Amino acid sequence: MKQFKIIVVISILFSFYISELKPQNKIYGIARADSAWSQLEHSLNLSSVTSNFVTKQAVLLRYREEGLKFWKTFPGDVRRYNWLNNTISQGKYLHYLNLSNDDTSYLYREAFNKYNIVIQKSYRWSLNKEALMEWEKVYPRLREEYRNYYLNNPKLNHRRGYPDREFELAVGELETFLSLSLNKEYLKNGKMDLKQLLNLLNGAGNYLKMERYDSLTWIQKRVFSPMNRGFIARYKDYGLTTKDINSFLKNIQTNSSFIIKKWAVQQSNLLTLIENPLSFKHISISGEMIDMSEMRGKVVLVDFWNILCSDCIKRMPAIKSVYDKYKERGFVVISVCIDNSDKLPRVKEIEKKIGSEWPILLVGDIRKIDGLGRKIWREYGFWGVPQLLLLNKKGELVMLNNTLRSGDFEPIVKRLLDENIETKN
């Protein structure tokens, strides 16, 4: 009987010990997850490596790999979804290239430091297909779990002033695809997969169905900014012809979103400038009538900007440098300021500081109903400034933004000036 009592007491004490131990294990598990998450966030420290593209690629790839480990190790930790969101949003910078620090020349580093962009030469490196295929294999499952979590937790899905988190992934996927497609090894038969691009755009565009077209919102900017800046401005870099892109835009015009349809029409109008000269006229701030039809025989850079655009103003000295070198040969700059007349003193102040000698047009901001600025913006679908258009001697569009915004565009100006083209006034 005494032995039985001892066994009962030991059992009770052991049960008590186990009951106390379980919460401690749970606490230790949380602490372990917190520690792992802290290390994961610390690994995404891009501020110290933005000047070195090779290192930046390595950091982003390590963040992706460590995040996958966190996802598998802590299946109940909702911070996994933040990691996935960060990974996709950084995807436009992770190009899965086979790189080493030896590949990054001094000149390349200087260009990257100066403009903080991935210059086109970077896409000549070979593609790390193994790393890319590994990600494409696991991503659909991660995305589905991400979607289901926020569908089951709708209060967490929406944040005031922002669309739901599914939208963030959709836009991130679009940006990543546009970035990867600049690599020739990623293209199919030397061309971007326009069917995949259409699917990605439609996915992001689903969030535009209830949007008002006359009100530029954060959602619209997130969808159309990469399309305008990356796809429209650089379509030749994707192995596409004018015929390809016009066909693509025609297909988009069947989209259920009125805003996407309108965007496609505007981009089609913009691309007509490749074959049809840009045509408008307006009085400059010095009282001179500037008529684009009278610019035939000259190479013209049309610079759309406004006084609040720091990038626009920052780019002007580089434009002036090319202008000073080639103005005697027929290179012309037309400065088109998208501001109202009350901003004239500030416009003059900026242009005086730059030392520009070219015509300056003050055409009114896009909200001015009867202004030339609004008319141009509505016809061609520009979504921001700067908008830089380089026209050949026929007045036809040769380049939109791209290198004109950041990079050395002098060689193309020289080439266009060297062309012997018959023009008709």
For residue 407, the model assigns a pLDDT of 85
79 and 165 assigned to the same domain: yes
* Domain end marker among 186, 219, 252: 186
For residue 17, the model assigns a pLDDT of 44
How many Cα atoms within 13 Å fall on the side-chain side of residue 52?
14
For residue 369, the model assigns a pLDDT of 78
79 and 124 assigned to the same domain: yes
Q: Pick from 205, 78, 208: which is nearest to 152 by CA? A: 78
* DSSP structure string for 158-220: -BTTB--HHHHHHHHHHHHHHHHTTSTTTSBTTB--HHHHHHHHHHHHGGGTT--TTS--HHH
19 and 113 assigned to the same domain: no
Both tokens assigned to 103 = 């590949």
Residue 257 lies in a domain: no
Q: Pick from 395, 413, 384: which is nearest to 233 by CA? A: 384
Task: Please tell me the distance from the alpha carbon of residue 305 to that of residue 5, in angstroms, as a whole number.
Answer: 90
For residue 216, the model assigns a pLDDT of 62
Residue 171 lies in a domain: yes
79 and 175 assigned to the same domain: yes
33 and 130 assigned to the same domain: no
138 and 62 assigned to the same domain: yes
For residue 116, the model assigns a pLDDT of 40
Task: Please tell me the distance from the alpha carbon of residue 133 to that of residue 130, in angstroms, as a whole number.
Answer: 5
10 Å CB burial of residue 178 (0-12, 13-18, 19+) is buried
50 and 182 assigned to the same domain: yes
- Give me the phi and psi of 398, to 5 degrees please: -105, -35
86 and 21 assigned to the same domain: no
17 and 49 assigned to the same domain: no
Q: Is 408 in contact with 121 (CB distance < 8 Å)? A: no
For residue 425, the model assigns a pLDDT of 52
* DSSP structure string for 256-307: S-HHHHHHHHHHHHHHGGGTS----EEEBTTS-EEEGGGGTTSEEEEEEE-T
- Give me the phi and psi of 44, to 5 degrees please: -95, 65
Task: Please tell me the distance from the alpha carbon of residue 109 to that of residue 101, in angstroms, as a whole number.
Answer: 10
For residue 163, the model assigns a pLDDT of 63
Q: State the Cα torsion 101-102-106-111 to the nearest 10°.
A: -50
Residue 292 lies in a domain: yes
Q: Identify the residue whose tokens are 């006034």.
A: 425
For residue 367, the model assigns a pLDDT of 82
Residue 51 lies in a domain: yes
Q: Pick from 187, 175, 269: which is nearest to 225 by CA? A: 175
* Domain end marker among 125, 156, 186: 186
Total domains in the chain come to 3
Question: For every one of its 425 residues, what pLDDT tens digit does the chain have, with 9 covering 90 and above?
Answer: 555 555 544 554 445 444 444 444 455 567 899 999 998 988 777 555 555 667 777 888 889 999 999 999 999 899 999 999 999 988 888 888 887 655 444 444 444 444 444 444 445 678 889 999 999 999 999 999 999 998 898 888 876 555 678 888 999 999 999 989 988 889 988 999 999 999 999 888 888 776 665 556 778 888 888 898 889 988 988 999 999 999 999 988 877 678 888 899 999 999 999 989 999 999 999 999 999 999 999 999 999 999 999 999 999 999 999 999 999 999 999 999 999 999 999 999 999 999 999 999 999 988 887 889 999 988 998 878 999 999 999 999 999 998 899 889 999 999 999 998 766 55
Residue 137 lies in a domain: yes
**CA pseudo-torsion sign 244, 247, 249, 252:** negative
CB count within 10 Å of CB 133 equals 10
For residue 95, the model assigns a pLDDT of 81
157 and 112 assigned to the same domain: yes
Q: Identify the residue whose tokens are 């749970």.
A: 26
39 and 53 assigned to the same domain: no
Range of the domain at 381: 281-418
Both tokens assigned to 207 = 């969030």
Q: What is the CATH number of the domain that holds 389?
A: 3.40.30.10
Residue 79 lies in a domain: yes
Q: Can you say whether residue 153 is alpha, beta or left, with left for phi > 0 and alpha for psi between -120 and 50 degrees?
A: beta
138 and 37 assigned to the same domain: no
Q: Is 87 in contact with 67 (CB distance < 8 Å)? A: yes
Residue 99 lies in a domain: yes
Residue 240 lies in a domain: no
For residue 6, the model assigns a pLDDT of 56
